[in-house]
Structure 1
């Protein structure tokens, strides 16, 4: 039986670029199997995931060979553990986004370790949330939910046949394109690597983001945060969108230039923004975004703990099997690019 249980609602989704890096990485040396530690908090679900996949769960020691990390942060603590125990050959990080560990990962280039993350594991709930934000804004639901009297008008737009841009080509983007299929949108994917993405009518490189955004009615941001992607959705990109366009961000807040976003919303150039992530985060009380009627903010809850816990357990189990020589690692981190 799957670790997700009989009532499983979600499944992992592979990003469009996963296969080639995985094949290249698997051609190299594999980490030596051995005892696996789960830190700093070993839940019953993660312990079961390790053991059901055949792994030997043990407290952190000099003979530890695999490490499953469970904290959102703690990069300094993790770095100290790895420095003191060079025999650890595989490290599993919990989330799809690994920007909290950026400095540690940059220093890990060439260390010979296999690093994996949760990328793709949580794609379905996050893509679902992105679609919900987009539909809510197109249909004016935030404004209508706040109404206290009957206010009929003709405002509201349809998603059917819309011109859409998706920034990113990971699991969230791939799943989002599947969810958009019934709406017959024309989707352009903007990504770092070349190559077509199923469900997209075209794929363009990141350098052409502003060009791709020209005339688009919806921009979905589902990209990892790296030095190259920080602030990439800037005033130029926002100005290129169709008048009244909607922006949805379920990636990382700092991929969008917040000041430019506020200005575009205040001017009316943008018709709405749906943000599950913000910069800064948490978004402080009194920030201009809170006061904008056309801005719908959710507090980084596109994938709740109830959704992520079984999915992370499934990811851990799959990579424990790979650690023991059965299959390929999933969610490998590209240390050169930081995600």
Structure 2
């Protein structure tokens, strides 16, 4: 038993064979109990109760109220597991730092759960920008110049190797693209022709026809596509961001688009976000800003419910959690 009298149980947690499992118990759904997710917990055999000293798990449904979660954890130190609502956990980085070195809670996110709709959106933005759909859709008179590039056989650089990147690789396969994945490790990724580490990003940009950002936001990735990196791209290349806005230097992107240094951009996430009214990115040549709609609530609610149900079963039994977060690396 540990200091609080809890039984120690050492079993795998998503491949980790040394970490103790969270202690099961009642689960609180915060800050407000959504019936869809309450039903998911109960379907997995869990018990939903208001936050109390009995609480051992928390399903947190807000991406903007991390201070409320911090208070709940401070007041109830026996909470062993927290499920976060989105694939990205950048809204909780300060909370991770504040609790660095603490064994509990085990954090899980929705990473990988929304891969299909987001990858689909990335493909849509890629096709739209290569074929100059944003520019053509704004036209008020007939342009005699035919513009557009096929995706077939193009060089695609995907930054990131998570669920979205893997699903995008599957969607790109029929186009016979040559894909380079940029990630933290250079281990091969199925469907990619080659894999390089982030230190070699500048080496692969000059040959890219499409650059897709699908990496988590962290100190390492913020600003990774700046003036220098955009300057390495050829004028026919397009940039797609379905990750987080701060991965791109917005001012540098606008400047590159306006001077024709790159051919276009498909941007679902921005920095700042929301993008202010009249921001030049909205009107940049051959650019579409889709206002963080790659995955809508209609798409994500059933997917998050399925993730919660799976992780509640793991919490109550001996199964592996999905989407375990590494607080040290921030994803």
Provide TM-score, normalisation by structure 1: 0.91
Whole-angstrom distance in 2 between the partners of 1:21 and 1:247 = 37
Which of 52, 59, 80 lines up with 2:43 in the alignment? 52
Unpaired runs of 5+ in structure 2?
1-11
Query: Does the 8 Å CA contact 2:93/2:327 hold for their aligned counterparts?
Result: no
Is 1:156 equivalent to 2:145 in the alignment? no
Whole-angstrom distance in 2 between the partners of 1:147 and 1:212 = 34
Instruction: Write out per-residue CA displacement over residues 303-337 of structure 1, whole angstroms, 9 at most, x where no aligned residue.
Output: 00000000000010000001012410000001110
Aligned partner of 2:9 in structure 1 is none
Which of 239, 250, 253 lines up with 2:245 in the alignment? 253
Which of 125, 141, 150 lines up with 2:117 in the alignment? 125
Is 1:268 equivalent to 2:260 in the alignment? yes
Deviation at 1:149, TM superposition (A): 4.1
Unpaired runs of 5+ in structure 1?
1-19
Is 1:309 equivalent to 2:310 in the alignment? no
- Aligned 1:163-174 pairs, distance under 5 A: 163-174=155-166
Query: Does the 8 Å CA contact 2:23/2:80 hold for their aligned counterparts?
Result: yes
Instruction: Write out per-residue CA displacement over residues 11-60 of structure 1, whole angstroms, 9 at most, x where no aligned residue.
Output: xxxxxxxxx99312x53100000000000122111011000001111111
Deviation at 1:266, TM superposition (A): 1.2
Secondary structure class of the residue paired with 2:182? strand
Aligned partner of 2:188 in structure 1 is 196
Aligned partner of 1:7 in structure 2 is none
Secondary structure class of the residue paired with 2:328? coil
Instruction: Write out per-residue CA displacement over residues 151-209 of structure 1, whole angstroms, 9 at most, x where no aligned residue.
Output: 34321110000011000111111101110000010000000123111111110001111
Aligned partner of 1:72 in structure 2 is 63
Whole-angstrom distance in 1 between the partners of 2:303 and 2:172 = 23
Whole-angstrom distance in 1 between the partners of 2:186 and 2:155 = 21
Q: Number of aligned pairs?
A: 319
Provide TM-score, normalisation by structure 2: 0.94
- Aligned 1:291-302 pairs, distance under 5 A: 291-302=283-294
Query: Does the 8 Å CA contact 1:106/1:338 hold for their aligned counterparts?
Result: no
Is 1:208 equivalent to 2:218 in the alignment? no
Instruction: Write out per-residue CA displacement over residues 44-88 of structure 1, whole angstroms, 9 at most, x where no aligned residue.
Output: 110110000011111111110000000121111110100010000
Whole-angstrom distance in 2 between the partners of 1:272 and 1:151 = 17
Secondary structure class of the residue paired with 2:167? helix
Aligned partner of 1:241 in structure 2 is 233
Query: Does the 8 Å CA contact 2:180/2:192 hold for their aligned counterparts?
Result: yes
Is 1:38 equivalent to 2:35 in the alignment? no
